[in-house]
Structure 1
Amino acid sequence: MNHSSCLNRAALGTLLSTAILIGGCASTSPILDAHFGESVHQLNVQQRINPEASAANEAKPLGADGRTVRASSERLLESYRNPQTGEIPTVSGVGGSTGTNSNR
């Protein structure tokens, strides 16, 4: 094998490997973009028990009236503005113990 034959093979190998590498970088984005979000939509649909439940349910939701919600919200905010200080009250004697096996 002569020197020019080796160079031709090396050039051909380099050209072939470059073509393969560039081909691996081909963009699949248009194909993927066309189906973007389909799996999420399919999972959402599969998780619904009754997709028409909101249209069929005309009853008002159970809950509190506005006055009760407002008072509750104000108590919550007040508990953050002026937190209780001191000891937290505890209940003693809970648990069904009669006290006969005391370790005093």
Structure 2
Amino acid sequence: MLTRPHLAWSICAAVAGILATGCTTMTPNLDRQFGSNVNLLKAQQVIDPAAPARATPVSVDGETAHEAVNRYYKSYKAPTPPPGAFTINAVGKGS
């Protein structure tokens, strides 16, 4: 059983330990450089960063867009026809 002096020392040690952990810095080198590699890779992949500002919007008239959507829907209604008998197979088997 803990006596009064032992309990006081235990509490003081626990409080000192908790306060000491609050004084340490947590991985300062990693936190300072966090995300720098990702940002560098993104910057290296962009040829012209100002391209979106100069881009003209591409537009299609309504009739053409309507026909494109109709052809898209029709492509799923009928199955694709099988290839003809004279189709050359480019994929060969190994020897």
The TM-score, its normalising length taken from structure 2, stands at 0.46
Highest relative contact order (Cα 8 Å, sep 6+), 1 or 2? Answer: 1
Question: Which has the larger Rg?
Answer: 1
The TM-score, its normalising length taken from structure 1, stands at 0.43
